[in-house]
Chain A
């Protein structure tokens, strides 16, 4: 069955430090992969996505993610975290059949940023 695992429930980093949020997926075909961010009281905003091609994808707000098929991973990174990055981050994989008819989400990683 398709699934997404985000092993870290809560991460705290200092402002200016680098960040890596982990995401592992289980999926039968080539996945469509997404990272969304949710600020308190807000909806889900797309940070970046991977469909095919270059395995390193750039997103908004200085985020990037790397698709590693051999490790079934799609980790999110940012070289220098800002206080405004504090939010919850969700990794998601596109639905079965090679479509993205429905997204399967991980449980999310809450990011706190220390001044």
Chain B
């Protein structure tokens, strides 16, 4: 069964450094998402992406964040200058079509900012 994959599984970085989290969505899916889950808290929506542009973004997704689908298969989340509070599990999700469909989640990348 096709699945969403994410790399790396764990990323440790120093505060102020840039990180790029990578996701490979399911191949025939058209809608892509990033969520995050700070330890002990709920999963929160960050951004959705369709047709090579951002569809929706939350208040969390400020100028430090960006997303890209550089090559038609990868979907990346970049954090330009990480802060301690960016430490979280980041989940990628993809969905085939709009409407009565389901978002499929990857296993997540745990980001630790020191």
A interface, CB within 8 angstroms of B: 32, 34, 36, 41-46, 49, 51-52, 90, 92, 95, 99-108
Contacts and interface: CB of A to CB of B under 8 A. Distances in A.
B45 A102 contact: yes
B83 to A, nearest CB: 23
Contact of A102 (B4, B6, B48, B107): B48
Interface of B: 4, 6, 31, 33, 35, 41-45, 48, 55-56, 58, 91, 93, 95, 98-108
A57 to B, nearest CB: 13
Contact of A46 (B48, B98, B102, B106): B102
B106 A43 contact: yes
Contacts of A45: 105
Nearest to B55: A101
Contacts of A34: 102
Given A99-B98, A102-B56, A102-B58, A43 B91 contact: yes
Given A43-B91, A95-B56, A100 B103 contact: yes
Q: Is the interface of A mostly helix, strand, loop or mixed?
A: loop
Contacts of B55: 101
Contacts of B58: 102
A43 B56 contact: no
A31 to B, nearest CB: 13
B106 A100 contact: no
19 contacts: A34-B102, A41-B107, A42-B107, A43-B105, A43-B108, A44-B43, A45-B105, A49-B102, A92-B43, A95-B56, A99-B99, A101-B56, A102-B45, A102-B48, A103-B43, A103-B45, A104-B45, A105-B43, A105-B44
A1 B65 CA distance: 25
B107 A43 contact: yes
